[in-house]
Structure 1
Amino acid sequence: PELKVRLHELISKEQVFDLSVVKPSDFVRYGLGCLERLADQGDNCAKDIRANLRIMVAGGDGTVGWVLGCLQELNKSKREPVPPTGIIPLGTGNDLARSFGWGGSFPFGWRSAVKRYLNKAVSASVVHLDSWQAVIRMPEGEITELPHALKKAEPADQLEFSKASGSELTEKASCYKGVFYNYLSIGMDAQVAYGFHHLRDEKPYLAQGPVANKLIYAGYSCTQGWFCTPCTASPQLRGLRNILRLYIKRANCSEWEQIQMPSSVRSIVVLNLDNYASGKHPWGDLKPDYLEKVGS
């Protein structure tokens, strides 16, 4: 609430949206739609605003991904330009914010920091971000609670998935699709994130800030066996290769190639950023002497 009031002071109430009240999809449909209609009617002010509009998202990776996913609809319907998006990092990991120079945490002196974030949003250069579409097929009879990032796949998407995977899709099988911008994970870390998400929904008073959230994450990591395998709550995740098969299709190749996984693998991550799990670098940090050798 205090951040919302501060934003009202710096810009205006009309430009600040509470995502628990106004969904990003509603803003895209009605807010931007209104600007576009006025611009089409000859309103030069509305035309300039629509052309130069920039969006700031105050939240974590999930919130930012939610907004980006809704803005992607502008591309599909050829309603361009798509407004660039900046980030005020309020989440736990903030990997998207880290990767694009918005910082990994919300500063202690936040009142002055908010003004700096808004100034940066005006002057910052635009950098493009890849997006990836994931198509997920669920077993027959499987009932699941869908996150906002996933929706029921259209018949054309289901047919494309069936052709790509080389398997037939039965009528009773459920197929979903979604877009991700940071990473898609299968395994123990996904189990930890899933547990934290449900705990936050059921007991929001426990997740009151980044420090408390990271402590909860650490607890879930132990119970899932990330640090101490014998106490894992899901034994099947200890041997990830026992519950899934991994295939890849290389560029300019028509055949799928199976990847043999070591028994030690506990998680598979499809990574789109240089940051993972609250600023970790999966490949490590290259030493300067290595860069000199490669560059010479």
Structure 2
Amino acid sequence: MDNSYESLSDFVKHFYIPSYVLSPDSDAPALTIAPPESPVLVFVNSKSGGQLGGELLLTYKSLLNEKQVFDLGVETPDKVLHRIYLNLERLKEDDLARHIRDKLKIIVAGGDGTAGWLLGVVCDLKLSHPPPVATVPLGTGNNLPFAFGWGKKNPGTDTASVELFLDQVLKAKEMKIDNWHIVMRMKTPKEGPCDPLAPLELPHSLHAFHRVSSTDELNMEGYHTFRGGFWNYFSLGMDAQVSYAFHSERKLHPEKFKNQLVNQSTYVKLGCTQGWFCASLFHPASRNIAQLAKVKIANKNGQWQDLDIPHSIRSIVCLNLPSFSGGLNPWGTPNPRKQRDRDLTPPFVDDGYIEVVGFRNAWHGLVLLAPNGHGTRLAQANRIRFEFRKGAADHTFMRMDGEPWKQPLPMDDETVMVELSHLGQVNMLATHDCRSRSMYDPSTPRHQDSAEEYDDNEDDSVTEGEEFRKFGAADTFKIPDEVDISHLS
């Protein structure tokens, strides 16, 4: 309640928003409220992190005005933000409300899918003052929070932990990151549906992958068209298949997925049972990317060209941020020779280009844990297109910002196409030592200096089996701390 404002600590007052700013049904308080330095709206997925989401929700409500803290299981963020910004427009002559609108920040606690949901809503509202977003790592992979310095382990939910996070938000810097749009189109199938099959119900946002309506400008007569958006990555192939198996298992047995460490151990187990570690034996060659689809990219001059995909590549990742699969960086930092010879750059998050990386199997992925390890660098592009070969497979697996789905493919159609393209930017909050880099930040040179740790001089097209040599030769290689190998029976 607003009359509790006087009892708040000076620190908490930096983030406090009075109720009348949030809702037209509340009256302005009689007491004077100092303009908050960092007013926040807090969105918590109470179902994330086992019981942690619910506990975190209660802690934020006990610290702040409970009306500025929202449970995503009760009310969707698009409705909340639409209501609040309508009220801010009504109060545009109010000095405090105008200050809060200009300084507003958003905190979202959940997995990568939840964070993407909020980012999508902020983009869709097309606000004149879009608030930057800070992400609390409450999922399994937590790639988005890790990329911007917020960590990857589930946080504490006590008052001290929440105040520590709020202090980081107060000191954080703003960074713009690229938005990416995905469109998939195919002829209307003669029989059977081809809608995406997701193990979990996806958030109701324009950016969740879904079929467009008949009135959408992307709709074409005689075709099924799907669209979506992402900020971290889009992947196609076997890694998405393992993720799909994990989410399907969690949906069937939610009681087994209450702990981040157990979740990550289960993920590794499923990688084994799905054949990801022995892909050459258990994964049909017809599902390898080169056999499944022709890949084209728009080069830096905007012209389309074929992208050569090695026949052993079973998974392809289109990466916007330097964090994938729990904080690994598949692109790495190309050394100066590769930057020059292949026109490659470090992975900036706001340069309008996406990094395209290939993997053969899970052993190839483990190379990322070696010093300066990276996947097979295929290209950097601002548009990429997958043209699926007729009859190559009746389905494939796709994943976008932590949300996987099984995608049926019509066997008699040679026009199935997926295209990724750049679509604007969104504001993020980041700690000052985060791993994400901006090409416009004066402290981040456009070309890396000699102090930068580059990858080795080996060619990107490492032969099948070469990953085993690199895996064994890495002095500092270790299973990630988050995975308890005693669970891997």
TM-score (norm 1): 0.83
| 203, 228, 247: which one aligns with 2:296 | 247
CA positional deviation for 1:124: 1.2
Distance 2:55 2:452 in 1: 50
Once the two structures are superposed, residues 185-227 of structure 1 have per-residue CA deviations (whole angstroms, 9 ceiling, x without a partner) of 0011111222222332332212112112112211221232211
Q: Give the gaps of 5 or more residues in structure 1.
A: 159-168
CA positional deviation for 1:253: 4.2
Distance 1:246 1:279 in 2: 27
State whether residues 245 and 270 of structure 2, in contact with CA within 8 Å, keep that contact through their aligned partners in structure 1. Answer: yes
Distance 1:108 1:34 in 2: 33
Q: Which position in structure 2 is the counterpart of 1:161?
A: none
Q: Which position in structure 1 is the counterpart of 2:234?
A: 184
Q: Give the gaps of 5 or more residues in structure 2.
A: 1-53, 333-370, 374-447, 454-489
Q: Which position in structure 1 is the counterpart of 2:136?
A: 88
Does residue 43 of structure 1 match 2:94? yes
CA positional deviation for 1:111: 4.0
Q: Which position in structure 2 is the counterpart of 1:156?
A: 217
How many pairs were matched up? 275
Distance 1:124 1:281 in 2: 23
Q: 1 or 2, which has the higher strand percentage?
A: 2
State whether residues 223 and 231 of structure 1, in contact with CA within 8 Å, keep that contact through their aligned partners in structure 2. Answer: no
Q: Which position in structure 2 is the counterpart of 1:201?
A: 251
Distance 1:283 1:64 in 2: 23
SS at match of 1:115: helix
State whether residues 135 and 177 of structure 1, in contact with CA within 8 Å, keep that contact through their aligned partners in structure 2. Answer: yes
| Greater CA drift, 273-282 or 99-108 | 99-108
Q: Which position in structure 1 is the counterpart of 2:314?
A: 266
Report the CA distance shift for 1:205/1:236 in structure 2 as closer, same or farther (over 3 A): farther
Distance 2:243 2:87 in 1: 37
Q: Which amino acid in structure 2 is aligned with residue 191 of structure 1?
A: Q
SS at match of 1:17: strand
Once the two structures are superposed, residues 50-96 of structure 1 have per-residue CA deviations (whole angstroms, 9 ceiling, x without a partner) of 11111101112111000000000232xxx221011111111111111
Q: Which amino acid in structure 1 is aligned with residue 218 of structure 2?
A: D
CA positional deviation for 1:229: 2.1
Does residue 210 of structure 1 match 2:260? yes
| Greater CA drift, 142-151 or 172-181 | 142-151
State whether residues 137 and 175 of structure 1, in contact with CA within 8 Å, keep that contact through their aligned partners in structure 2. Answer: yes
| 29, 52, 57: which one aligns with 2:82 | 29
SS at match of 2:450: helix
State whether residues 183 and 272 of structure 1, in contact with CA within 8 Å, keep that contact through their aligned partners in structure 2. Answer: yes
Distance 1:81 1:250 in 2: 33
Q: Which amino acid in structure 2 is aligned with residue 152 of structure 1?
A: R
After TM superposition, the structure 1 = structure 2 runs for residues 1-296 of structure 1, keeping only pairs within 5 Å, are 1-39=54-92, 42-75=93-126, 79-107=127-155, 111-138=159-186, 140-141=188-189, 142-145=194-197, 147-148=202-203, 149-153=208-212, 155-158=216-219, 171-229=221-279, 232=282, 235=284, 239-254=288-303, 256-284=304-332, 286=372, 292=450
Q: Which position in structure 2 is the counterpart of 1:166?
A: none
CA positional deviation for 1:251: 2.3
CA positional deviation for 1:145: 4.4
SS at match of 2:120: helix
Report the CA distance shift for 1:221/1:111 in structure 2 as closer, same or farther (over 3 A): farther
Distance 2:263 2:286 in 1: 23
State whether residues 234 and 317 of structure 2, in contact with CA within 8 Å, keep that contact through their aligned partners in structure 1. Answer: yes
Report the CA distance shift for 1:80/1:238 in structure 2 as closer, same or farther (over 3 A): same
State whether residues 236 and 243 of structure 1, in contact with CA within 8 Å, keep that contact through their aligned partners in structure 2. Answer: no
CA positional deviation for 1:280: 1.0
State whether residues 156 and 162 of structure 2, in contact with CA within 8 Å, keep that contact through their aligned partners in structure 1. Answer: no
State whether residues 196 and 210 of structure 2, in contact with CA within 8 Å, keep that contact through their aligned partners in structure 1. Answer: no
State whether residues 109 and 137 of structure 2, in contact with CA within 8 Å, keep that contact through their aligned partners in structure 1. Answer: yes
Distance 2:87 2:253 in 1: 38
CA positional deviation for 1:104: 1.3
Q: 1 or 2, which has the higher helix percentage?
A: 1
Report the CA distance shift for 1:237/1:98 in structure 2 as closer, same or farther (over 3 A): farther
SS at match of 1:135: strand
RMSD: 2.6
